[in-house]
Amino acid sequence: MKPQQIIQPYMFGDAAEKKTCLWLKGLPLLEPMNPVSPPPRRVFDGGKTMPTWYADAWSMPKEQRAAFRSKTFHGFAKAMATQWGSLPT
């Protein structure tokens, strides 16, 4: 099943890139809030690119890296709380 929405932190005010898929059961699509430009990506010798914050995590120990990469960005969380927090149940 395809997600109903794919969002990025920069759509919600966080200067970061991390695709997040949403499967919305009975919830409206999230509307972008305070969008900013996506930050530059790290470019490697072979031409591959990835978000800088994600590339920087490779120097962390495995457990710390996993926790860091799984974070929810503040702007995205605020948008969920603001837009979905007062929906009727």
Q: Tens of pLDDT along 19-68?
A: 999 999 989 999 999 999 998 999 999 999 999 888 888 889 999 988 88
Instruction: Judge whether 58 lies within some domain.
Output: yes
* Inside any domain, residue 49: yes
Please indicate, yes or no, if residue 24 is contained in any of the structural domains. yes
Q: Phi and psi (nearest 5°) for 36? A: -130, 165
- Asked whether residue 47 is assigned to any structural domain, the reply reads yes
Residue 88 has pLDDT above 70, yes or no: no
**Total domain count for the chain?**
1
In a domain, 78, yes or no: yes
pLDDT band at 80 (very low <50, low <70, confident <90, very high): very high
Establish if 73 belongs to a structural domain.
yes
Among the listed residues 53, 60, 49, the one whose alpha carbon sits nearest the alpha carbon of residue 17: 53
Structural domain harbouring 14 = 5-84
Let me know if residue 89 belongs to a domain. no
Q: Which residues contact 37 (CB under 8 A, 6 or more apart)?
A: 10, 15
Is this prediction's pTM over 0.85?
A: no
Inside any domain, residue 10: yes
